[in-house]
């Protein structure tokens, strides 16, 4: 199961897909970099696209926190903090 809620991994490279960085084609999900490489292997910005997709995975909000990733978020503080 992917780390991100509701999104799957790319069938070619296995990177978790983030919003606006994937294409669904015939029931398979491709990241933008793999899709471009499949259809246009001579694209000049291919490595830049691949790096953008990898960076987006690190930025995207995690749906489930674990103890290894850091402390669990604390809720809002009460109005009376005495």
User: What's the domain count of the chain?
Assistant: 1
The whole domain housing 43 covers: 1-61
Predicted local confidence at residue 20, as pLDDT? 86
Buried-state track 47-71, b at ≥16 Cβ within 10 A, e below 16: eebbeebeebeeebeeeeeeeeeee
| In a domain? residue 76 | no
| In a domain? residue 81 | no
| In a domain? residue 49 | yes
Predicted local confidence at residue 1, as pLDDT? 43
Full pLDDT tens readout for the chain, 82 residues? 445 555 788 999 988 888 888 999 998 999 999 999 999 989 899 999 999 988 888 777 555 555 565 665 566 655 665 5
| In a domain? residue 72 | no
Predicted local confidence at residue 2, as pLDDT? 47
| In a domain? residue 40 | yes
Residue 19 sits in a domain whose CATH number is 2.10.110
């Amino acid at each position: 199961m992917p780390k991100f809620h509701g999104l799957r991994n790319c069938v070619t490279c296995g990177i978790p897909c983030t919003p606006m960085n994937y294409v669904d084609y015939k029931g398979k999900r491709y990241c933008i970099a793999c899709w471009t490489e499949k259809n246009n292997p001579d694209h000049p910005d291919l490595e830049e696209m691949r790096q953008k997709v990898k960076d987006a995975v690190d930025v995207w909000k995690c749906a489930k926190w674990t103890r290894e990733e850091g402390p669990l978020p604390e809720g809002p503080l009460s109005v009376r903090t005495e």
